[in-house]
Structure 1
Amino acid sequence: MFCSDLLHTPVPPVVRVHHTEPADYGVRTILHCSVLGFYPQKVQVSWLRDGVEVSSDVSSTDVLANEDWSFQVHSYLELTPRRGERMSCRVEHSSLPQSLEVDWDTLALDLKCVKVTVGILFFLVGLCAAAGGAVYFWWRRRFDFSPVDRQGQTSSCLSEF
């Protein structure tokens, strides 16, 4: 009886969405949706772009059995990401009261853009500081205001000491 109840208890899936290789906006990449540890076997996986189902450039594995009687399936979407769009993997399973949508986290892509921007800003600040130092050095050499005259003699106010 106990074993029978366990085999008929639905187990909800764990869903993860990530890219398979380093991604960047405007560069073709592949998103991977892993649907893991669910029971029973029947599951529906789809991709959404800004809430609209995507059917092209999608591929999936067969549903695979795990050693613990649960199942897994993997779905892949090939796309060129654009800034501001929302990519989601939608999973429908009997253990879920409603479909589960997991968004692709683009924080890594956004941070990459921020890092590049900050790097460029620091480079420009360094370049301006170097240019300012060069101009100052040139100006000091051109208009020598040292206490020693150009002929190598000290000025009259310093010679009294």
Structure 2
Amino acid sequence: MMLSMGLSRRENKSSASLMSVILLLWSSGMMSNSGSPVLSTKTVSALQGEKVNMECVQGNKTEGTTVNLRNSSSDQLCYMRLGNFTNLWANSCIHRMNLDYDKQTQVFYIVIEHVSLRDSDTYSCTLERTIPPPTVTTGQGQVTLTVLASPVVHLSLATPSSTENEMMLVCSAWDFYPEDIQLFWNKDGIKITGKTSNDSLRHNQNGSYSILSSMVVPHYEWNESTQFSCQVNHSTLKMPIVLNLDKLQFGSKDTSTLLLTWILITVLVGILAVLATFILVKLRFGSISQSSAATVKPETAVTHPPQQIQTDHPSTIYLLLDHYSVSA
């Protein structure tokens, strides 16, 4: 009886010791159900155009370490190789991408310059120990990046409608993400309902969205004291965008007449400029011709006085007669 009780106590002590070892190994990370490091996941959002710095994976000090950064398509974006987590042996990344390492916290960061909507993706970092061999994966991390874009808002006076008693106002919001947006009209600060028309939301190739809204305004409402405005609300905005439009900005109901007048004035100014240039060139060419003619000297002919020519002939005859008489 005493022997059996002693054996049972020894078995309980050995099992308790084994359980303690298992718990110790589990808490220290040396043992897991799958035998691979636990994957850490994070979610980050950023505004288009910003610089993003995202924590990806944390490592441990080893003789040699490599880090690979890939996107959801398994394309390699960055490769870094370190020795003792202090000496950088190699670092290669594609455009606007980079890997950064904090020596104090031993954390690797993904850095992206000037993020765009196309950078929205899930990025994975794989940390491997290469020295001492064999190569072992010691850390894995995933970061899901969502890039947001604020709307670009324009307010304009469109071409008058078919009836000259109406004007059309157009408000547009471009290149925003996500797609949820509020766009409405105000008249003197009061929201207008029932007189506006919104086009369907358009999905752009870069992943953003755009929308147009129009409103027809009768001419009797278009006076100096009336102000129309377009207001846009979006999740990326700290406060709504409000653009105002009044008669002083775009003129009276004779906008088409004023536009035609400005076109005629522009054409006339262009014609006058061409004529002035032609006259200046003509005058300059004429002055150059006159100065060239004044510098040319006429040829001078050498002539003998008539009296000298007449007196030369008799003397020549007398000389010939004297010559022949002497010889005779």
Place the TM-score, normalised by the shorter chain, in its bin: 0.5 to 0.7
CA pair 7-16 structure 1, distance change in 2 beyond 3 A: farther
The answer (yes or no) to whether the contact 1:10–1:40 under 8 Å persists in 2 is: yes
Identity %: 25
Q: Give 1:105 shift.
A: 5.3
Q: SS at the partner of 1:104? A: strand
Structure 2 letter corresponding to 1:4: S
**RMSD of the TM alignment (CA)?**
2.9
Q: SS at the partner of 1:74? A: strand
Q: SS at the partner of 1:9? A: strand
Aligned 1:144-155 pairs, distance under 5 A? none
Match for residue 16 of structure 1? Answer: 154
The answer (yes or no) to whether the contact 2:184–2:230 under 8 Å persists in 1 is: yes
Q: SS at the partner of 2:250? A: helix
1:88-143 Cα deviation digits (max 9, x unpaired): 10000001011111112542315x69x98xxxxxxxxxxxxxxxxxxxxxxxxxxx
CA distance in 2, matches of 1:109, 1:17: 15
Query: Residue 93 in 1 paired to residue 209 in 2?
Result: no
TM-score normalised over the length of structure 1: 0.60
Q: Any stretches of 5+ residues in structure 2 without a counterpart?
A: 1-70, 72-111, 113-118, 122-143, 259-328
Structure 1 letter corresponding to 2:226: E
Q: Any stretches of 5+ residues in structure 1 without a counterpart?
A: 117-161
TM-score normalised over the length of structure 2: 0.31
CA pair 12-89 structure 1, distance change in 2 beyond 3 A: same
Query: Residue 109 in 1 paired to residue 251 in 2?
Result: yes
Q: Give 1:82 shift.
A: 2.4
Aligned 1:7-156 pairs, distance under 5 A? 8-22=146-160, 27-80=165-218, 81-104=222-245, 106=247, 107-109=249-251
User: With CA pairs under 8 Å and 6+ residues apart, which has the higher RCO, 1 or 2?
Assistant: 1
The answer (yes or no) to whether the contact 1:30–1:77 under 8 Å persists in 2 is: yes
CA pair 35-89 structure 1, distance change in 2 beyond 3 A: same
CA pair 7-20 structure 1, distance change in 2 beyond 3 A: farther
Q: SS at the partner of 1:8? A: strand
The answer (yes or no) to whether the contact 1:57–1:77 under 8 Å persists in 2 is: yes
The answer (yes or no) to whether the contact 1:10–1:94 under 8 Å persists in 2 is: no
CA pair 51-7 structure 1, distance change in 2 beyond 3 A: farther
Structure whose residues are more often strand by fraction: 2
Q: Give 1:4 shift.
A: 3.3
CA distance in 1, matches of 2:158, 2:199: 15
CA distance in 1, matches of 2:145, 2:204: 14
CA distance in 1, matches of 2:230, 2:149: 19
